[in-house]
Structure 1
Amino acid sequence: MSTAPAIEVGTRNSSVPGTLERFRDLFNSLDAGNLNKLSSVYSENVQFQDPLSSMSGLDQLTRYFAGAYANVLSCEFEFGDAVITGEHVAITWVMRLRHKRIRRGREILVDGMSRLVIRNGKVTYHRDYFDAGQLLYEHLPVIGRFIRWIRTGAA
């Protein structure tokens, strides 16, 4: 990852860099015990989508993350450079995850990208793109071997 925090294109939106920094900080400190921090970054009517679910509103997002983080031992993100166009942001990341139910708590790496829309200093839209197989299916006892075989055999 390079040292430039963001590449801005087009019209500058002054609230975006600060909100993006809070977004990065949030995801490197978030756990099941501090989900109240979501409101510092997300709007009440946030739209969220990832390969596993889709929801509307901060309350639904908080419940989703409560379930997602319930068995997390640790989760850190290495963020790449953000590309910012006005209120639209694209940022790549690598998630380093240790989860009680995935690989017996051993660390896994998941590559992904987030697309954000930031208005009035809050994230109003957040869509994550990642390979659900890399997160979950590759680590299941029987099917995981098959999926890993397909990945390496097809390459």
Structure 2
Amino acid sequence: MNPPIIQRFKDYYSDFDQQSVESLGELYAVDMHFRDPLHQLDGLEAVQLYFEELSRDLTHCRFEFLHEMVNASCAYFHWTMHYAHPRIKGGQALSLNGVTHIRFDDRVLFHEDFYDMGAMLYQHLPLLGWAVRSLNQRLLRGSTRP
């Protein structure tokens, strides 16, 4: 049986866009550490500010948990994030796969997300997206020359 924090974690992210940043205090320890491809943050307050900014213009965002590995003090989740933002690909619904590692006791002490920033953001921006898609196609063909 999983520790209660695991279900609270999954419930929060399953409806991420419906959650308040204030409720993060029920999930995360005050002195927690957070990492993702863009940030390293120390402390609950820093994470609350980051999530507030991150979710400000989201049309929707939810996480679908596909697999998990849990023991007494850490867990790994494989997920798909379903999201839409008006400034990313014209607000279209998008999906992104990733993995989260957490360490916990009664609250999350450490949270690290692993995902492809190109797949999440860069390839959906007009000029940068064209460059990222072109580079990906060249790499798939086995050459970086035009």
TM-score clears 0.5: yes
In the TM superposition, what is the alpha-carbon distance from 1:52 to its structure 2 partner? 0.8
Q: CA separation in 1, counterparts of 2:3 and 2:139?
A: 40
Q: Given the alignment of the two structures, is residue 102 of structure 1 paired with residue 88 of structure 2, yes or no?
A: yes
C-alpha distance 54-104 of structure 1, shift in aligned 2 (>3 A) = same
Q: Which has the higher strand share?
A: 1
Choose the corresponding residue for 2:54, options 52, 68, 76.
68
Q: CA separation in 2, counterparts of 1:99 and 1:86?
A: 36
| TM-score, normalisation: structure 2 | 0.89
Q: Which has the higher helix share?
A: 2
Cα deviation code 1:94-149 (max 9, x no counterpart)? 10110121111101111110000011x10000000001111111011112012112
Runs of at least 5 residues in structure 1 that lack an aligned partner in the other structure: 1-13
Q: Residues 144-155 of structure 1 correspond to what in structure 2 (within 5 A)?
A: 144-155=129-140
Q: Residues 87-98 of structure 1 correspond to what in structure 2 (within 5 A)?
A: 87-98=73-84
Choose the corresponding residue for 1:123, options 87, 108, 114.
108
| TM-score, normalisation: structure 1 | 0.84
User: Larger relative contact order (C-alpha < 8 A, sep ≥ 6)?
Assistant: 1
Q: What is the RMSD of the two structures over their aligned residues, measured on CA atoms? A: 1.6
Aligned structure 1 segments of 4 or more residues deviating by more than 3 angstroms: none
